[in-house]
Chains A and B, each alone.
Chain A
């Protein structure tokens, strides 16, 4: 086995890995990023400007191929005829779950990971979220509070470029926003009506998204083509490929190695320090070691924990990080898909121009000031007001029908789609399947996860409050929606190596360091001790930058 030595190893090149690479390199550490998947060439792979008529299936997608090779991945809206290539082949990447407890694990194995197809919504957590576990006696207390992460939110926000409207809401702290795209005329009127009718409790605010409205660090302001998940030739939305990896590369000390499937961490049995990682070359299947002073696992929540579970030794027979008994446990995902939609009887003579990929957000308002007797925590809505255009169902056929589809936009439609919190539960867990392995021979995961009653009650309440808001703005044809998705599909999987204050109940300390091996850090979704209801990526980014800063400080003091 050949072996090469670096200062830092970063496993994974997506949202968290890109930040770890940038921060380490900019602090002068020779860093290798190990990515399991292929390299991405934006000039070839980004397809956001390819129209339907240039595709074989005109956007319908190759159903037969999807059914055969991506039966799980195709559940994600973005796994379509354009972007399906950014999602894994399910046959090569198996995992198991009990028949009655499906789990939808949506994955992207390539340089950039899922930061290429992410939803780009970026919302800070507040102390309402960081204190909730402690106050309610749920799970473990977060070892950090808003004041610990706030400077790091500021730091990453300024590099990422996040547009948003300053609202001054305690439950959703503002950041140094770029000017947001305005709400369209129907959304603005809806905002005004709701502010009056709900006394400022329910707020339609501009979606806070990592899409530039001004040029920033060599990336161009967005040109509103509208289909970000297919890539972005102008680098206008944030991804590791568009932003952090180029910054890391600029230092000249980054090594990025694609096709590198990390099998396990190499641990010194005496010192309990990691010496590096064991890697399988995805093409040759040859195993080799990479050595470094510090290891950052940023492979996604489940993949990072899988590597830890697969790092078995005499000292840690259940895997590295298992001494607490918490490794693999408390798997969470948000619950989504409760809400309602309707049409608006006004402003039919107005329209908006430009394809915004996102529109508005209604921050959490349940259990913020007043207490709800039926459930803990809360949810937020994403939504927007749009005019149907040619895609709408109209009666009739012939010249009038055709002209109506071409010329009339149809009424404004408006929708509220909820994302709620899921509580941590020890029994929602992953472990290594005793028999199943992936295409590279690495033991596959066995997932056991369900939503609890509280999550289902959130879903019920989303319908109630979305309907109330639609009624308040005078919407018609109100249609409630209540989806029944398997966990995983929100693609906000979190937990399984949670942070905490006590090595007996948590896997990571307050700096994302493994209690069991302090030169191993986990800074992706695995570290989360609860989910809040906000989209989590910006929190992973802030925690990653903070953890690298801590690691480098400790290395300088020779304490790592």
Chain B
């Protein structure tokens, strides 16, 4: 959790109208506060509601849950929002958000709805067409390229994927130069 979210959550708790009488009530209150925070987009500071929905869905389409976790399971959309908020330049962020808008515009041109309202097949078709444009410097192709690389990075550097899927090792007794794949 980002410090800012924690502060927000603590703020919610501090606004409690009564002092809980037992640990159970305190816990239940905390749970409700936590759920409220989740549903009002805790972890998202750059993406608005529709952008969150689009980014979350596209990330899951790039790295879907199979026998291993998917992008949503490891919080890739929140990671992307964090990078766009705290790391990206104003220019890069604006360019990415314009590209996201361009994805919706293309969805509209195809099916008369925004991306998340397209049929499953139409979503796949649209992303396939964008994958061919991933060297573009602007627009939907650029946004999809960013989504792809941030999704892969956010996914593979997450604790769960590092531990459960990649089973990353940091200690080796020897360098083995020639091992069958």
Contacts and interface: CB of A to CB of B under 8 A. Distances in A.
Interface of A: 49, 51-53, 57-64, 181-185, 187-188, 223-225, 348-356, 390-391, 393, 395-399, 401-403, 405-406, 409
A59 B158 CA distance: 11
B166 interface: yes
A62 to B, nearest CB: 8
Given A405-B152, A406-B166, A60 B179 contact: no
A58 B86 contact: no
B91 interface: no
B108 interface: no
Given A395-B131, A398-B61, A398-B64, A53 B158 contact: yes
Contacts of A224: 171-172, 174-175
B162 interface: yes
A185 B178 contact: yes
A525 to B, nearest CB: 31
Contacts of B68: 402, 406
A534 B165 CA distance: 41
A59 B157 contact: yes
Nearest to B171: A223
Contact of A57 (B86, B165, B171, B172): B86
B179 A352 contact: yes
Interface of B: 61-64, 66, 68, 79, 83, 86-89, 124, 127, 131, 148-149, 152-154, 156-159, 162, 165-166, 168, 170-181
Nearest to A226: B170
Nearest to A224: B172
A197 B26 CA distance: 76
Contacts of B175: 181-182, 224, 352-354, 356
24 contacts: A51-B159, A53-B157, A53-B162, A57-B83, A58-B79, A61-B87, A181-B175, A181-B177, A183-B177, A224-B171, A350-B180, A351-B179, A351-B181, A352-B178, A353-B179, A354-B175, A390-B152, A390-B156, A390-B166, A391-B156, A398-B62, A406-B68, A406-B165, A406-B166
Nearest to B71: A402
A350 B173 contact: no
B166 A52 contact: no
A184 B177 contact: yes
Contact of A403 (B66, B170, B179): B66
B156 A405 contact: yes
Contacts of B89: 63
B150 to A, nearest CB: 10
Q: Which of B61, B89, B124, B171 has the most CB of A within 10 A?
A: B171
Contacts of B168: 51
Contacts of B180: 349-351
Contacts of A62: 86-87
Contacts of B157: 51-53, 58-59
Given A51-B159, A225-B171, A406-B68, 18 more contacts: A58-B79, A58-B153, A62-B86, A63-B87, A182-B177, A184-B178, A188-B177, A352-B175, A352-B177, A354-B176, A356-B175, A390-B152, A393-B149, A402-B62, A402-B63, A402-B68, A405-B156, A406-B165
Given A350-B181, A397-B61, A397-B62, A225 B170 contact: yes
A402 B66 contact: yes
Q: Which of B68, B174, B180 has the most CB of A within 10 A?
A: B174
Contacts of B177: 181-185, 187-188, 352
Nearest to B3: A56
Residue of A60, A188, A350 most packed against chain B (CB within 10 A): A60
Contact of B87 (A60, A399, A405): A60
A181 B61 CA distance: 41
Contacts of B176: 352-354
A224 B66 CA distance: 32
B181 A349 contact: yes
